[in-house]
Amino acid sequence: MVGVADAVSPTGQLDLRGRALEAQMVREALDDAGLTLADIDGVCHHTSSMAFAEYLGIEARFTDSTMTGGSVFEVYLEHAASAIAAGVAECILVVFAQTPRADRAAGDAPAGGRPGPPGPNPMFEWEAPYGLQMPKGGYALAANRHMHTFGTTSEQLAQIAVSTRQWAELNPRAKVQTPLTIEEVLASEMTASPLHKLDCCLVTDGGGAFIVTSAERARTLRKPPVYVLGAATGNTHLMISQMPDLATTGGAISGPRAFEMAGITPADVDVFMGYDSFTITLLLHLEDLGFCAKGEGGPFVEDGKLGPGGSLPTNTNGGGLSYTHPGMYGMFLVVEAVRQLRGEGGPRQVDGAEIAVAHGSGMVLSCMSTAVLGTEATL
C-alpha cells in the first residue's frame, strides 16, 4: 500500500460532496504515493467502478464494485492484493465518499437510507414489518445475547467508548475530543436496549482513498510501503434474523485465516483497527479474532488496554465512536493502520508499530473482512 487520504471535519460536515469529494481524495492519495492518474490501471468503487473509472478517464484492467457494506474496503484490499499478485493490474485505486450531514442540509438526502446490497432485499419483507429499528436494533440483539450468555455488562461496553474517546482526545481532526466517563455513557439516552447513545457511532461526512500496488513498485515511491501480509473474508448471513449465532461473527472465519496467511498470532498485533459501529461490534471482534476467548471480551477491556498506553492500542484515530462515521467506516480503518505503520500518528502514534490489523464489519454483523498489514514484506 502506497498512498492514503481521508477527509473529515470536527464539525462533522464537509464542504465538498459526491464526485468533487471523491476527486479530492484521489488527488491526495496520488500525491501521498508520488503517483499520477496515468499510473492507475484498476478501480474499486462501491457504487460503480466503471462509472468512476470513466469519470477519471481510466481504461481499467481491473474493476470491482463488490458491495458488503462497511467491510467492503477491506474486501477491496484483499481483491486488489490478489489481482496484483496474479499480474492482472499494477496500481489499483480504492475510493469512498459519503456525506449524510451535507446531503441533509442541502435537502437531498437519499430516500433509500443506508446503503444495502443490490437487488431485492429480503429484510424489507421479513424483518422491517415487525418493527425492529435498524441497524441499531440488530446490534442490540447481539448485545443482549452476549450479556445473557456471558454476563457482559453495560459498564464493560461503556469502557470501549471511553478508551476510544481517549484516542480521539489526541486527534485534532476527531469529531468529538472531550473526555468521557463510563458514567456519562450509561447516563446517555437508551437508544435500543441495552445500547445507549454513546454506545453508538457518530453520523458525519467523510471520504477516503488508498492505493495498492506491487511490492517492487512500492519500494520506488515517495513513502515507505506498507505490505499486505494476509487478508480474508467471512460472510455468515444478510438478515440479522438469520445470523447463526448472535454472539459470533464471520470474524471467527476471516481473522484466523488472515493471521495464518500472515504468519502471526493476535499477540503479534501492535495496532488493532476494528470496526466500531457500536461498542458491542468491537467487543465481538476482539473475541472472534482471538485477542481473548469467546465470552471474555467484557473483562478483557475493563483495564483500559484498548486506550493510549494500553497493551492493545485500538482505533487510534478515535474510531467510528469519536473520530468520524459517514457509514461504511472500513475505509478509515485502512487509512489509520497505514499511517500508524508509517509513523505518522503524531501525538497518538504507537511506538514501534510493525503489525496492524484492519478489520471491517459489513451490513448487520453480516460480512467480516480482515487485513493484516506490516512494515516488512515478510516476517
pLDDT digits (tens, 9 = 90+) for 281-303: 999 999 999 999 999 999 999 99
Report whether pLDDT(244) > 90. Answer: yes
| Mean predicted lDDT score pLDDT of the chain | 95
Residues in the chain: 379
- The candidate with the shortest Cα–Cα distance to 211, out of 226, 200, 189, 198, is 226
Give the C-alpha distances (Å, rounded to integers) separating 323 from 12, 72, 161, 228, 320: 9, 19, 11, 25, 6
Of the candidate CATH numbers 3.40.50.970, 3.40.50.300, 3.40.47.10, 3.40.1160.10, the domain formed by 3-105+199-374 belongs to 3.40.47.10
| Mean pLDDT, rounded, for 225-235 | 98
- The candidate with the shortest Cα–Cα distance to 140, out of 68, 196, 81, is 196
pLDDT of residue 55: 97
pLDDT of residue 108: 75
Q: How confident is the model at residue 110 (pLDDT cuts 50, 70, 90)?
A: low
pLDDT of residue 111: 45
pLDDT digits (tens, 9 = 90+) for 316-341: 999 999 999 999 999 999 999 999 99
pLDDT digits (tens, 9 = 90+) for 41-64: 999 999 999 999 999 999 999 999
Residue 258 CA to residue 232 CA, distance in Å, equals 5
Coil/strand/helix, residue 346? helix
User: Are the C-beta atoms of residues 277 and 139 closer than 8 Å to each other?
Assistant: yes
Q: What does the block give as the cell for 52? A: 468512476
Other C-beta atoms within 10 Å of 102: how many? Answer: 22
Report whether pLDDT(117) > 60. Answer: no
| Mean pLDDT, rounded, for 141-168 | 98
| Mean pLDDT, rounded, for 371-375 | 98
Judged by average pLDDT, the poorest of 70-74, 98-102, 115-119, 131-135 is: 115-119
| Mean pLDDT, rounded, for 193-217 | 97
pLDDT of residue 124: 82
pLDDT of residue 367: 98
Name the pairing type of β-strands 206-213 and 91-98.
antiparallel
pLDDT digits (tens, 9 = 90+) for 163-175: 999 999 999 999 9
Judged by average pLDDT, the poorest of 53-62, 113-122, 267-276, 351-360 is: 113-122
pLDDT of residue 378: 63
Q: How confident is the model at residue 126 (pLDDT cuts 50, 70, 90)?
A: confident
Domain boundaries, the chain: 3-105+199-374
